[in-house]
Structures are given as C-alpha cells and as structure tokens.
Chains A and B, each alone.
Chain A
Amino acid sequence: MNNYHLSHLQELEAESIHIIREVAAEFENPVMLYSIGKDSSVMVRLAEKAFAPGKVPFPLMHIDSKWKFKEMIQFRDEYAKKYGWNLIVESNMEAFKAGVGPFTHGSKVHTDLMKTKALLDALNKHKFDAAFGGARRDEEKSRAKERIFSFRDQFQQWDPKNQRPELWDIYNARIHKGESIRVFPLSNWTELDIWQYIRLEQIPIVPLYYAKERPCVEIDGNLIMADDDRLPEKYRPLIKPRMVRFRTLGCWPLTGAVESTATTIEEIVEEMMTTTKSERTTRVIDFDQEASMEQKKREGYF
C-alpha cells in the first residue's frame, strides 16, 4: 500500500481536466458554453486549471435569453474580465425585437426561440465544432445516459439510440464538416460534488445562490423574483419581500426561488441534504411534458 491516493473530488477533477485538454487538442474551433450557474463556474475553473500557467485556448460563450437575472449578467462580465476570458455573448435578437418572452409566449416558445434557437444559430455562426456544456448525469434521467463526447448531426440533434460507444478515457472526436460534438466534462459530478468543490476551491458564484430578502411573487406555485419591470402589471401588487435563494439559475420568470436562510455554502449543503425537492424542480421548463428534457435534448437544447 502506497500513499498515492486521490479523493473522489481529485479524481473527478483529473478526469475533467483530461477531457477539456482532449477537446482543445482534437478540435479546430471549440467553445465553452457558459450558463453563469454554479456548474458552469466549476467547469470554467477546471478549464483555467487545465491550461495553467497558460491561457485557455478557447472562448467562453453565453447565450443571453435577455431574461436572465441582472446579477447574473453583472457576475458574468466581471468574472470574464478578471480572469482574462474571451467572452462571446449571443442572443436571438430577431425574436427579442418581436417581443418574445415567457409571460407573453409561454415557457415553451420562449425556450425554443431564446435558448435553443439562439444557441443553434450561435454555434452555426461561429462554426464551432465542439461545445462544452456543464451538464451532469445525476441531474436528470435522460442525461444519465449521455456520453461525455456527445455526437450531434448537422442539425445539432442528439440520437439517444445511436450513441457512439465510449470506453476508458479514449474519446472519439472525429466528425464530418457541419457535425459537432457536445462535451460534458462534469458528467460524473454530483450536485454535492459541485458544492464541495466550490467550497474547497473558493470558486466565485452568483450571489443569487445565497439567501437574501428579495421581492417575490407567487406564480403557479413557483416563487418568482421580480427582477425587472417586465413583470406583468397583474402580479405587481402581489410582490412581497421573501427570504429566498435559488438552487438553479436561468431566466428569472422561469426559475423558482426557494425559501431559505442559507447564506454560506455549508448552510446550502445542509439545506440540500435535508430538503425534499431535487434540484431541477425549481425549473419550470422541465414540466412541459413527460420526458420533456429528452425531447429538448433531441432538438439540440443541452
């Protein structure tokens, strides 16, 4: 018995760094998709680690649905500047100018146009041949079956029944022109691993994850924070200050807050371990239909 021992987090970190470097070496034009959430924050730090003391050889891209929390945008810009990232921001401006939003068009139309279509257009525009995403297999059932290198055809679609075998740490990166690979370096991390890593590495995250008194209104059973004045008139009188935090971050009208007093990572973890709802239940988009995430993934959404 020797002392060459890695903890599970060190092993996961080494695996992720290996995946990230493999993409940088094998693809001509990779990009790291950045959602500004806690998983993205970990993925971005792993990329910084993979190429230290050098700079990360690919850009960071945020698909801005134009309905993100203001604090997210502020955090994004500050982080990218501080750590010297080349940040690309893309939006579906056509749909935005046409007034598309979750309150007027519903979550499905909004997500299709402002997230999925915006993402696909941006990937095509920049001709990225590989895109990193921060998805984890423990998040949701259809993700549990996805490869780390997930092949997408020329329409960016995923075919769950026809995935390439993926063995050891040998990743098949070969594609034809127009096809691409989505890469998930955090595939084997769990939610607890992410928090634990953020705690140990002191990785900056958006303050919305911590509890604070915020102006909220209850809409269809979800606690929605009034982040800007696009909240429809009818809800405004119902706004109340509530002590809340967010377990996931996305478009503010589609992301439910949870009541909480957790203001440190330890308290968040404690809350997470005693809580009765899994992470994604605060996301309105997952409930559109049964197996809805699988459907969205087939269409090209992560």
Chain B
Amino acid sequence: MNQISHIQMDNKLDIKAYLDADEQKDLLRLLTAGSVDDGKSTLIGRLLFDSKKLYDDQLTALERDSKRVGNAGDHIDYALLLDGLKAEREEGITIDVAYRYFSTNRRKFIIADTPGHEQYTRNMITGGSTANLAIILIDARKGVITQTRRHTFLVSLLGIKHIVLAVNKMDLVDFDQQVFNNIVADYKMLTDHLGIEDVTCFPLSARDGDNVVEKSEKTPWYEGTPLLEFLETVPIHADRNYSDFRYPVQYVLRPDLNFRGFCGKVASGVVRKGDEVIALPSLKRSHVKSIVTYEGELQEAFPPQSVTITLEDEIDISRGEMIVHPDNLPFIGRHFTTMLVWMDEEPMDTGKQFFLKHNTNTTRATIAAIRHRIDVNTLEEKEGKPFQLNEIGQVDILTAKTLFFDAYAKNRQTGAFILIDPITNNTSAVGMILEPLDESALENDLVPTLDLKKLGIDPEHYDAIDIAVKELARQGLEVKVVK
C-alpha cells in the first residue's frame, strides 16, 4: 500500500519536473528547402517520428493513405504526413508552406516546410522570413544543382544566420566519403560567394534514419553530431539585435485620463525604466516612466517582448511612430534602395501607388527606379525591367510618409517591409532594405502642405485639422501642416 502511493507520488513529481523543465525550453524556427525528390518531407517526417511526437492515430491514417497514393513502396511514406491539402495530394507535391511542431528534451521546434520548385519561390520566402536556421537538402547523387543555388540565395537574402546542408540519400551512393566531401566543397564555394558564415554539413539517409537522430554506423568517417543534436544545441540567442533600441508604436492605450501607454513589440535593442527616449518623427524627448505588462512593471524590456511603455511627459505619439534612444537613431526618410521579391501573379507596375507596410507604419509608396533583376539560377544581374512573379532584384522606393528604418542586414525587424496592391489588396512584394538614398533632389509632390495661416483658418479649427491629418496618416498619406 505504502509502496503504491509512493510510486504514484513519484509519477506526479516526474510529470511536474517534466513540465518545469519544458517551461524553460527555447524555440528554434527552421526552414526546410529542397527539390521535390530530395526527400525533404521524409526527413521532416523522420524528425517528427523519431522525436516520438507522432500520435498513433495519425500513423494509422498514414498507413491507410500510403496504400492509396504513396510513393515509397513498402516503406511508410512520411511525406504523406505532411502534405495536408487535398489538391496537392493529388499532384504529389507540397504546394504551400506548412508548419510542423515538435519538441525534444532540449528545445521546441517550428518547421516551415516549403516547396522547392521554381513557381513557388514566394512560399519559400514566406516560410523563411522568421526562421533562425535553414536546412537545404541535396540528393547525394546529384550534388549542388541549380535549385540548391536558388534556395541558398533566398536564404541569404532573408538573412537566415545558420545553414544546414543535408546531403541526403547517402545510402544510394554507398555512404561514400568522397561523394560527400566533393558536395561540401562545391557548396562552400557558393556560400563563400554569398557571404554566409555558419554552414554545417551532414551525410544523411532520411529514409533509413542515418545520422538524423543517431550517428550512423555506415559513416564511420563522419566526425560530427547527428542532425537532431545539432538542431538542439545550435546557439541562436545572439542572432537578435540587442544594441539598437527600436520600438514601433503599435497601439495607444488610454484607459483613463491618468494613463497613456504606448503598446508595442520591442523590435530590437533594450530599453530600461528611466531611459531618455526620443519619439520619431516629432523628435520630442522624454524619459521612460514605466514598462507595463499584465503581470506588473518591468525594469527593462528586450526583443521580442510585447509591452506597454509610459513616458514622464505628455507627448503625442501615434501608431506607426517610433520610440528610440536619442543617441542611436535609425535612418529617417522617404527614399531608399532595397532588395525586392515580387510575389504577385500580376507583374510590377511602376506607375502604381502601392501601400507599403513597415513595422506598424503604413504609407503610400511608388517604385521610383528599377536597378536590376537577379537571375536566381546563376546569381547574375540582369537588365532592370519590371518584375514578374518570383523575380528578385534591386529597386528604389519613394514613400509618402517618413519611415524610420535600418538596413535589413543590420536589423531584420526594421529593415523589412511589404508592398500591398491598392486595388486587389494582395501582398504584391516584400522588401529587405539596403540603404537610404539622397533626398535633396526629390520633388516634394508626394507631401502636400497646408499652411493654415495662409489659408486664413482660425486657430479654433486647428484641433479638428490635426485629427483629420492623423486619420490621413493612418491611411498612409502624409500632409504637412504649417501653423
């Protein structure tokens, strides 16, 4: 009797200990990219399966589906587990980004599973934008091919810091060390060219599990860890920008007359209670009075925390504006050059005024110049013509409102934006800002000026005009008011 209750208690302690440990795990977001036949879905299925997160009834459904449409012969087709949508099951390919979740004793993982073939570049870009790490799959029999180049270029464009080269199907080349080494050497040439520093290579057979979770006996020459162990331990914490405080104001909270809080997510950098801050674009200064959360006040806030900041002085800050430290300003301007990926079926129209969304700020914007396009297969520059779907290149953008931004390479949070078609509302393009451009030559026709005195408007109407101007700003139009 005593013994039984003791065991039960132990059990309870165990699960509690498990949950307490689980609570401390961090999160790794990873992107997988590979060609249709590289065995990408099989590798993910293997990671999920071997980390014991596959529930039995999902497996039962899988066996049922495998018999109907499977491609893997007698093996369980892990790919079917991942390909959720009816349409793509019929086509036998993954057509969109699918997110998968698994955890080990050390970490939680979110996998963005994206397709590898050409017409779906936009999905890989979508899946990779938040990734800490990318797994690029290669078929050991084929080596570095055009698609590998394309995927690696996209990964570097997205600023993903860590790359895993998974040389899969090693079983089909007899786990030959020379084959592996040649592929790694080829690949390093490519990543050196693109300036990617952190590349780790693995010889795998996803189908049989070699070097996925456990070290394979078939590759005695391979001295590294299995893939999963690497994923569990690769340090990602330092990848965030903790040095440049950027706080795009998302929502202004005014529950009563005594409280005016600026809600937002810390995009980068660290802010402490008492810090001197400056609001953009007004350039008004104040000090951080408190950093408020549901649980109470914090002494400091860092990315990617969502908090609410109150200031010592009553200064007017709206959504889309930014709070920063006065000694560390972002670029402030309306003209910049950027890498752009065209995501829309409808080709680029340089005559169009788009909506540009950058952090919490929305503005009208035009593509002022097309510098060049990039051939993603050869990585060579091509003539600057309007982009078609999935084309990538460098353009200059002119906005109606002032933006507060950094180069994407320095700050992934404040260097990114999307372009929205004003008619279809589709997300037409996404951009990674390179650098600001000179504005002295700009015609100011995008920003109309209202000189209230000149127009003979009485000061009693100024408040009403301010409100109207704010509403226009919310819709992406800036009007300069002279009082």
- Chain A residues close to B by CB (< 8 Å): 1-2, 4-15, 17-18, 21-22, 24-25, 48-55, 137-138, 140-145, 160-161, 163-170, 172, 174-176, 187-188, 190, 192-193, 196, 199-200, 266-267, 269-270, 275-278, 281, 290-291, 294
Contacts and interface: CB of A to CB of B under 8 A. Distances in A.
22 contacts: A7-B23, A7-B26, A25-B319, A51-B253, A138-B100, A144-B99, A145-B96, A145-B97, A166-B427, A167-B418, A169-B265, A170-B418, A174-B425, A188-B101, A266-B12, A266-B15, A276-B55, A276-B56, A277-B57, A278-B58, A294-B84, A294-B85
Contacts of A187: 99
A234 to B, nearest CB: 29
A21 B251 contact: yes
B480 interface: no
Contacts of B25: 7-8
A168 B130 contact: yes
Contacts of A175: 425
A281 to B, nearest CB: 5
Interface string B417-451: 11010000111001000000000000000000000
Given A4-B242, A144-B100, A266 B16 contact: yes
A269 B19 contact: yes
B335 interface: no
Nearest to A49: B294
Interface in B288-306: 292-294, 302-306
B355 interface: yes
Interface string B91-105: 000011111110100
A275 to B, nearest CB: 8
B293 A167 contact: no
Contacts of A196: 19, 22-23
B416 interface: yes
Contacts of A161: 87, 95-96
Given A7-B24, A168-B413, A172-B425, A144 B304 contact: no
Given A17-B265, A52-B294, A266-B16, 4 more contacts: A11-B26, A15-B306, A18-B304, A277-B56
A125 to B, nearest CB: 24
Contact of B265 (A5, A18, A270, A281): A18
Interface stretch (B146-154, B211-219, B220-228, B357-365): B357-365
Contacts of A22: 250, 360
User: Which secondary structure dominates where chain B touches chain A?
Assistant: mixed
Nearest to A142: B84
10 closest cross-chain pairs (CB), A and B: A141-B84, A54-B255, A278-B55, A167-B129, A276-B56, A8-B27, A49-B294, A17-B306, A4-B302, A52-B294
A167 to B, nearest CB: 4
Interface string B254-269: 1100010101110000
Given A4-B302, A25-B251, A170-B418, A188 B99 contact: yes
Contact of B238 (A1, A13, A25): A1
Nearest to A10: B305
Given A11-B27, A145-B98, A165 B250 contact: no
Given A5-B237, A14-B306, A161-B95, A167 B294 contact: no
Contacts of A50: 263, 306
A170 B355 CA distance: 13
B343 interface: yes
B416 A168 contact: yes
A295 B98 CA distance: 17
A160 B84 CA distance: 11
A54 B254 contact: yes
Contacts of A8: 25-27, 108
A190 B99 CA distance: 11
Contact of B306 (A18, A164, A165): A18
B270 interface: yes
A49 B293 contact: yes
Residue in A48, A138, A143 whose Cβ sees the most chain B Cβ within 10 Å? A138
A53 B255 contact: yes
B328 to A, nearest CB: 17
Contacts of A140: 84
Nearest to A169: B265
A17 B319 CA distance: 16
A170 B357 contact: yes
Contacts of B360: 22, 25
Contacts of B6: none
B90 to A, nearest CB: 11
Contacts of A5: 26, 237
A164 B424 CA distance: 11
A174 B420 contact: yes
B11 interface: yes
Interface string B123-140: 101100110000000000
Contact of A165 (B22, B302, B430): B430
A145 B171 CA distance: 32
Contacts of B199: none
A168 B412 contact: yes
A101 to B, nearest CB: 28
Given A5-B26, A14-B265, A188-B110, A199 B96 contact: no
B304 A11 contact: yes
A44 to B, nearest CB: 13
Given A144-B99, A277-B55, A166 B305 contact: no
Contacts of B11: 270
Nearest to B306: A17
Nearest to B27: A8
Contact of A172 (B22, B23, B253, B420): B420
B237 A145 contact: no
A10 B298 CA distance: 14
Interface in B232-257: 237-238, 240, 242, 250-251, 253-255
A270 B355 CA distance: 49
B403 to A, nearest CB: 13
A6 B23 contact: no
A5 B107 CA distance: 14
A14 B267 CA distance: 12
Contacts of A138: 99-101
Interface in B426-480: 426-427, 430
